[in-house]
Structure 1
């Protein structure tokens, strides 16, 4: 058992080092210009070790984005009453914007025009929000629109609005754009029994 715990810690450490290296590189250059050697050099990890954990740089980026969204979703869930999907979306959107603002270089240098990254972000947000809506439904919230449609619509809107905000040099404060987003999300049709 002790060997498994040590192995798990090594795996987590390797993933952390590779993720941090990719984030650092994304603050300097486009994802398309980053190669595996750059990531491994920055992380001080051998290429063979990289390939033991990830298929390629896209797999690493997808893992990084999934972990990011998982953490944002966890924080949003902690800040939201159990049966309040509208507030959940508002919190998740605010957390996403804050993350983008804190990591503006990564989002504006490394990820623009990268369809894979944006699709991965939208997919991760969609999966998390769908799971949350399913949980809300299990706890008695009734939606008049099927959950897969709701989660796809709101996750797409959330990610695309956040990208628009960033690409336009954050023309509104986070509070303002969240307020407008909340006004639109408030149209979410929920029937409580």
Structure 2
């Protein structure tokens, strides 16, 4: 009899093999030219096993991108809190750019094939930003603009700039992008309670 933990480990191992295979294949050829057979051969996984887990290569890609987005969310949650709200956004923007650069192939394919990736990324950044603003308010800062509006504005800007950067083959270094992002933020207007 197989217990659930062993089964879960087998599923995770199979997913990892297939994710790794797709990632390697993307460095060799375009997503459109990758077949299920290519993925299965690279992963050394039988086609029937593939279809037990995924409907097609697009489902595999969506799952892989979801995993990358989840990894970003975990990293952004671990973000070291800073006393300066502006610095927090600069750090979050840097983290987003670094994450996209580390996973460039997947994000390039994902952004082109699936607009929901952008929405998920933006939702994570909005959540982090809103949480931070609410924490700042609880600690005595009063923002001239309500926290939900600020979080939507800054989050949309960060994600849009990161996507522009990626879609244009990263024409600027991360440091340059962060510097420009910081200049755009300029300051978060607050008043003391």
What TM-score comes out, normalization by structure 2 length? Answer: 0.74
What displacement does 1:148 show?
8.1
Whole-angstrom distance in 1 between the partners of 2:34 and 2:146: 42
Deviations 1:167-190 (A, max 9, x none): 544332211111211232455667
Report what 1:69 is aligned to: 69
| CA shift digits 1:71-118 (9 cap, x unpaired) | 2232222223289765554334323322444455x269x729x6324x
Shift of 1:43: 0.9
Highest CA radius of gyration, 1 or 2?
A: 2
Q: Which moved more, 1:30-39 or 1:179-188?
A: 179-188
- Structure number with the bigger relative contact order (C-alpha 8 A, sep ≥ 6) is 1
SS of residue matched to 2:29: coil
Q: Deviations over 1:30-88 (max 9, x none)?
A: 22222222211111111221222222222221221122122223222222328976555
- Aligned counterparts of 2:93 and 2:75: Cα–Cα separation in 1: 11
Gaps of 5+ in 1: none
Instruction: Select between 124-133 and 139-148 the one with higher mean Cα deviation.
Output: 139-148
TM-superposed CA distance for 1:3, in Å, is 0.9
Match for residue 112 of structure 2 among 110, 115, 120 = 115
Partners of 2:23 and 2:106 within 8 A in 1: no
5 Å matches for 1:128-147? 128-136=124-132, 139=135, 141=137, 144=145, 147=148
- Secondary structure of 1:111's counterpart equals helix
Go from structure 1 to structure 2 and tell me whether the alpha carbon gap of 1:27 and 1:163 turns closer, same or farther (over 3 Å shift): farther
Distance 2:124 2:69 in 1: 8
Q: Does 1:26 align with 2:26?
A: yes
For structure 2, list consecutive stretches of 5 or more residues without a partner in the other structure.
none
Is it true that 1:184 corresponds to 2:184 in the alignment?
yes
Please name the residue that 1:35 is paired with: 35
Cα contact 2:133–2:147 (8 A) shared by 1: no
Corresponding residue pairs, total: 188
Q: 1:81 corresponds to which residue?
A: 81
Provide the alpha-carbon RMSD of the alignment.
3.4
